[in-house]
Amino acid sequence: MAVRLLSKVKCLPGIQGVVYASGAAAPAQLSDFELQHKTPVIRKQKNIPIAQYGGRHAVTMLPGGGIGPECMGYVREIFKYIGAPIDFELVNIDPNVDNDDDVQYAITTIKRNGVGLKGNIETKSEAAYVTSRNVALRNELDMYAYVLNCKSFPGVSTRHKDIDIVIIRQNTEGEYAMLEHESVRGVIESMKVVTASNSERVARFAFEFAKRNGRKKVTTVHKANIMKLSDGLFLETSRRLAQEYPDIEHNDMIIDNCCMQLVARPHQFDVMLMTNLYGSIVSNVVCGLLGGAGLLSGRNYGDNYAVFEPGTRNTGTAIAGKNIANPIAMINASVDMLEHLGHHYHAGLIRRALDKTINTDRVLTPDCGGTASSSEVVDSIMQNIGRC
Amino acid sequence: MSLITRNLCRTLVQGSQHVSKGLHTSAVNSEKNVCFAPLSISSLQTSKEGRIKCTLIPGDGVGPELVYSVQEVFKATSIPVDFESFFFSEVNPTLSAPLEDVVSSIARNKISTPDFSHTGELQTLNMKLRNALDLYANVVHVKSLPNVKCRHTDVDCIIIREQTEGEYSALEHESVPGVVECLKIITAAKSERIAKFAFDYAVKMRRKKVTAVHKANIMKLGDGLFLRSCEEMAKLYPRIQFEKMIVDNCTMQMVSNPNQFDVMVTPNLYGNIVDNLASGLVGGAGVVAGASYSADCAVFEQGARHIFSGAVGKNIANPTAMLLCSANLLSHVNLHSYADMIKNAINKVLKDGKVRTKDLGGQSTTKDFTNAIIHCLA
């Protein structure tokens, strides 16, 4: 896509097309994936006008597999109920098909809408050439930062109370570079790629996030004692950036120790910054601490696009269609999306109703120790809208 | 953003009370309480919103009469919309409200139903309003209505027009006596914006095809830029067919075979011509609804903008277009059940064919038509 756009841009001086970070020429005939990974100096986003008309936003909706479709149904129900000015563009991705047409189309729709709401997309095929669709989506859109807001719900009984941690995860490289090969029979090498530019971007994101949200401390999580070069680079970069933010305390912690500290004394953490795989592990640990997979929502940010999704990336295929899935994670994600688009009024309406349902009324699904069905939770939220 | 529905839910309970009150009165009026009741119950469930504020600009010519008809219909169903009315006129500039007031009201309320247009100074009030609010996209949905006799049936196309630049830049001057130059401005940013709007609208409306109308064979640079911007955007929409057509051919195709068109995207002047031509195909200015959009605001107005001053005070203007506009306004603010109610009523009245205004070959007055609609609101 980028290459094709590029060729057009040359004849059309008014359009600001591919942005060159350092004046490098774009090599011809590279696939999108190669462009992404082999030409890091090219940022491929094109300035596309955002889809906002008459105060209404168009948003791509990717229900994904498992409980995704039913949760999206609840979100639509609530949005319709409060009259949220959002027009969803639904893109279904068939998990059983091996080709990437649907995924590419989904990526295109997010590019033109700017914002997406997504469930977890299944990649059924285990063939090596089929990349994980979630990863492909993040890489293609260059959404380098993932943010997970972990705040305890007083209404959900857990071992630790009043946890308030923000996890910021590098989302596009590291172990998820998807570069694996068998160099000699029986020997597989998997590359973990850490680049200074991406480390700097995500570290800058973390410190800016801390500054703007009045956070006090950033903890960089790493394993630089073993991977001295790769994780070392990540750690060095965050230390260097920390000097630019003297008001924010910065420390670092090794991933294994970090996991132990998280389950033992989670209150010491404020903002946590980490590479891709550690982020995946730590966010699941924290979700577990706060009451399971069904509550928290995650946000993926790139320079131009944002995608909102449930915090733990599980499809929940086993409980699909049984009306027991916890809809709160997806509803939380939709609230994040409304806030991102500036619809604070509507976001507040749902947020307050959600808060009352979970913490005061305690209408919860079985995974959080309640007895309510998914639709009962949604009904309770809708009843609380406008009443609190 | 959230200003559109700023007052939503604050008066939530109140809003639903209004709905039920409306149920009561309309049921008495229309003697159709049996079929009215179930519909109202469903509308209670789907739209429990509070009241919505909307700027109303009656405008010149028959505008005030048509707007009155809309207000009557809204009153009859107790639609939770409050109008903030402005006398905004080109014919009578001394009484006209200042542009700034109108603009700030629309910017505050985000929606509006004006209905006016008249020629005068270089840049008309209409254009000033559009530029002040950056209402760049004009959408006219040309759709055949039941029982309105026309040469073609089943016309259903959406014409999207850029309306802030092009020939309407109001930059004209006489460089040498006897030589007047009129500048037509085309910019990549605005062309891309309108192209993207057209495709996004097509996606939203589940349409299949977008046709770009141009004259790039003559104006190779200006219209060429517009056309290339459309081609560029088309690549982002692989599931929508894109084609281009030269404006002269387009007008011919429009009158000979209008069913081939789905969504059309045009620069300013061509859009104006095609809009009016297409409106003529399905019954004239009185039956075609349009809307203008900026990023933040939406203004709902008649598709073909004529003030029809010959009919002022004669009670003969056709309010169908304005009522369709009001229905579109209601869907825009998520009051879909009310919108459907009005649309169904219009279809029913037209289908029965007993009450029709002069432009559709009948003898009924504006008031008769409005009353017929109110009776059919069920």
Put simply, whether A388 touches B (Cβ < 8 Å) is no
**pLDDT given for residue A84 in this prediction:** 87
Cβ-contact B317, B65 below 8 angstroms: yes
The answer to whether residues B142 and B266 touch, using CB atoms and an 8 Å cutoff, is no
A37 forms beta bridges with none
Render the burial of A107-146: b for 16+ CB within 10 Å, e for the rest: bbbbbbbbbbbbbbbbbebeeeebbbbbbbbbbbbbbbbb
Kindly state whether A216 is in contact with chain B, defined as any CB-CB distance less than 8 angstroms: no
Residue corresponding to tokens 């109140």: B14
Q: Is the pLDDT at A123 greater than 80, yes or no?
A: no
Contact state of A53 with B200 under an 8 Å Cβ cutoff:
yes
Place of tokens 């048509």: B66
Interface contact flag, A54 B12, Cβ < 8 Å: no
- Interface pTM, i.e. ipTM: 0.75
Query: Is B321's Cβ below 8 Å from some Cβ in A?
Result: no
**From CA B144, how far away is CA B123, in angstroms rounded?**
33
Query: What is the per-residue pLDDT for A299?
Result: 93
Domain ranges of chain A: 46-151+292-387, 159-290
Torsion angle of C-alpha atoms A70, A72, A78, A79, degrees rounded to 10: -160
The answer to whether the Cβ–Cβ distance between B5 and A346 falls below 8 Å is: yes
Option in B2, B196, B294 nearest A345 (CB): B2
Residue B222 distance to chain A (closest CA, Å): 12
Nearest to A55 among B197, B228, B298 (CB): B298
Asked if B205 is an interface residue toward chain A (Cβ–Cβ < 8 A), one would say no
| Fold that domain A159-290 belongs to in CATH | Isopropylmalate Dehydrogenase (3.40.718)
Facing residue for B4 by CB, picked from A11, A85, A349: A85
As a whole number of angstroms, the distance between CA A246 and CA B325 comes to: 57
Domains of chain B: 43-141+287-377 (3.40.718.10), 151-281 (3.40.718.10)
**A387, amino acid identity:** R
Predicted local confidence at residue B6, as pLDDT: 35
Interface test with A, best of B3, B5, B81, B223 (most A CBs within 10 A): B5
Cβ separation B110–A55 shorter than 8 A: yes
Q: Which residue of A has its CA nearest to B297?
A: A54
Residue type, B103: V
Is A90's Cβ below 8 Å from some Cβ in B? no
Among A33-37, A285-289, A336-340, the least confident range: A33-37
Residues in chain A: 388
Q: Characterize the bridge pairing of strands A56-62 and A115-118.
A: parallel
Does the distance separating the beta carbons of B232 and A12 come in below 8 Å? yes
Contact status of A112 with chain B (Cβ, < 8 Å): yes
**Which residue(s) pair with B54 in the sheet?**
B83
Check if A46-151+292-387 and A159-290 are the same fold.
yes
B2–chain A nearest CA distance, Å: 5
The structure's pTM equals: 0.79
Mean pLDDT taken over chain A: 83
* Residue among A12, A54, A84 whose CB faces B293 most closely: A54
**How far apart are the CA of B236 and the nearest CA of chain A, in angstroms?**
6
Give the span between the Cα atoms of B61 and B128, in whole angstroms.
19
Q: CA-to-CA distance for A56 and A74, rounded, in angstroms?
A: 20
What secondary structure does DSSP assign to B122-171, as a single string?
SS-HHHHHHHHHT--EEEEEEEPPTT---SS-S-EEEEEEE-SSBGGG--
**In CATH, what class is A46-151+292-387?**
alpha beta
- From chain A, the residues in CB contact with B239 under 8 A are 105
What's the pLDDT score for residue B93?
Answer: 64
Query: Among A139-143, A198-202, B111-115, where is mean pLDDT lowest?
Result: B111-115
Q: Given CB atoms, is B180 within the 8 Å cutoff of chain A?
A: no
- Each residue's pLDDT, cut to its tens digit, for chain B (378 residues) gives 333 333 333 323 223 333 332 232 222 222 222 222 222 222 222 334 467 788 888 777 778 888 888 888 888 888 888 887 777 766 666 666 677 777 777 777 666 655 443 333 445 677 777 888 888 999 999 999 888 888 888 899 999 999 998 888 878 889 999 999 999 999 999 999 999 999 999 999 999 999 999 999 999 999 999 999 999 999 999 999 999 999 999 999 999 999 999 999 999 999 999 999 999 899 888 889 888 898 888 888 887 777 677 777 788 888 888 899 889 888 888 888 889 999 999 999 999 888 888 888 888 888 899 999 998 886
CB distance B111–A54 less than 8 Å?
yes
Q: What is the pLDDT of residue B110?
A: 65
Identify the pLDDT of residue B129. Answer: 79
B192 touches chain A (CB under 8 A): yes
In sequence order, the 6+-apart residues with CB closer than 8 A to the CB of B37 are: B23, B27
Which of B2, B9, B192 is closest, CB to CB, to A343? Answer: B2
